[in-house]
Structure 1
């Protein structure tokens, strides 16, 4: 049985990267011997098939790289799939000749392009990698222009819907809820969102999902959030389907994003979106099922676009229908098919 090994920093986080990895390995383990290297121990946040092996890497750069090399050699690992090109120098600097490196890039090149050590690691990854799996056409363009990565080394595999969606979701305008999801308040621009929300006079509510208790407390204290403002900090949730099912609008107020899985999921439930203009990969995902806010005037533009969707039912219904059409681009069957094609050629 073909041996495939993945690497991710941690499985215990509730992010989209962890969710995508769990979906893929739970499928691949039916046909392949699958293991996952982690640098941080902890129980997986998402369920993994019991046949998937989790291996905690030792500390220390030399010790870790020697461990990886010996593990691959012993297990005749065919593919080493690293979920971050920035970490290749530190996690698998030397690989057996029979082990093919695949970079499954989940991070935006644009957001950390200028950091020297990351540049070095990415150049090394380009030299060593068999293939780069890229999540969007925008990221492919960036890798070609900024890193001179050839077309022959890149494969476009978009993240699929990772939840059980209703076949005919009801229109959700009646719930009067705007939802934002993320686990990093600074990166996700929740400060911008809160300031924008306070300028909107409405009986709707804003739900912010995904932060831990301490991060929620920081936002509450920093912005003096009270219950009368209808800003709800709901923390981490496992049943994300229920969140989408009981929301009306999805808002992406991030300062930076690669390919946001939560945006794809929200589309599958028919949620019209408001997305910042500088998030080009996200804009490409929603196509014409969202309103695009000007990041050069973040607070005013975000507020105005949210207000438009809240107050204009015809506009809301139009984007709702377009979101349902758009969801067909993100099926799991296509995702699995593309990955099987990639690792099945050995």
Structure 2
């Protein structure tokens, strides 16, 4: 039985990366011996992890000095890779591939770099450097969609191997949602990336024209205060910052429309969850992801990235037209099989067996 390890920054975080990692690790645990190595903390994961999956912390949080912390994490990782005779390590983020590179040079194990941003987004220099290094040396770089694979191929001259594997979505639906609940939903971290300031600007243009509707934004983040002030300054009465939601699927099932206002994305998990629940969607056509999920004017609207006025126009059309919402809802679940956990698991297995 092959031994597969996932290297992640902090498995105790509540983000999409941790959620997807737990899903993939759980799915693969019936065929492989799975480990999750968390650079910091991680032994009390927020998301469910199968009892067959071993989680161990590399205790990076114990060291304050940045350089010494990285040295400690690498040594802990190398020791565990040797102790457990790991066959393949998956870096959950191309920046973490920097820890894998020395192991790969010494041929201790096979290494996969799993991209979680789109190619054009580099939150820091480590991501940008890790991306180029992984493309050249990793046994495989896994990206989140066809478009991003093409971005890699068009912008990097040396790529050892690249595959795209969609992130999985596993949601329990209650059947057809109520497209007349008059609730619009958005969800994500309250940060610049998610563009909730743009969404509020768009809502400001149509709130008076849609008196029965309200907008609920789920999530927390550093921009809460800014967004609260913006809502107050604009005098909006039917947009609410609802805070973090433990059960997004439950919130989706009580909504009629889902909106995505991000300036950029890697893989929009919540957008697929919305479609899996039969929700019509309005989204900016940001890089990268929404265009692989929304078919414009079939199951939702794609709007030129950052065009607040057009976003408001398209959202108003959806809110004011019952038949349009119903048509979008009927097609929302089309072509979602590619995101099913069983299909995603099969692609990961094929990759693992090919190394």
| 1:88–1:125 contact (8 Å) kept in structure 2 | yes
Aligned pair in 2 of structure 1 residues 178, 326: CA closer, same or farther (>3 Å)? farther
The match for 1:35 is 35
Q: Which region of structure 1 is more displaced relative to structure 2, 19-28 or 31-40? A: 31-40
Q: Aligned pair 1:187/2:193, yes or no?
A: yes
Alignment partner for residue 325 of structure 1, among 334, 340, 354? 334
The match for 1:234 is 242
SS in 2 for 1:256: coil
The match for 2:344 is 335
The match for 1:248 is 256
The match for 1:7 is 7
For structure 1, which runs of at least 5 residues remain unmatched after alignment?
Answer: none
Aligned residues: 339
Q: Aligned pair 1:273/2:273, yes or no?
A: no
> Aligned equivalents of 1:232 and 1:296: distance in 2?
22
Alignment partner for residue 264 of structure 1, among 254, 269, 272? 272
> Aligned equivalents of 1:122 and 1:102: distance in 2?
12
Alignment partner for residue 282 of structure 1, among 290, 295, 298? 290
The match for 1:142 is 151
> Aligned equivalents of 2:226 and 2:52: distance in 1?
40
SS in 2 for 1:173: coil
| 1:39–1:56 contact (8 Å) kept in structure 2 | yes
Question: For residues 240-289 of structure 1, what are the alpha-carbon distances to aligned partners after superposition, in whole Å with 9 as ceiling and x for unaligned?
Answer: 11111111111110011011000111111111111112334211211242
The match for 1:291 is 301
Aligned pair in 2 of structure 1 residues 13, 70: CA closer, same or farther (>3 Å)? closer
> Aligned equivalents of 2:157 and 2:327: distance in 1?
40
> Aligned equivalents of 1:41 and 1:243: distance in 2?
30
The match for 2:66 is none
Deviation at 1:296, TM superposition (A): 4.7
The match for 1:57 is 58
Give the RMSD, CA atoms, in angstroms: 2.2
| 1:5–1:77 contact (8 Å) kept in structure 2 | yes
The match for 1:112 is 122
Q: TM-score, normalised by structure 2?
A: 0.88
Alignment partner for residue 100 of structure 2, among 92, 97, 100? 92
Aligned pair in 2 of structure 1 residues 128, 175: CA closer, same or farther (>3 Å)? same
SS in 1 for 2:87: strand
| 1:35–1:53 contact (8 Å) kept in structure 2 | yes
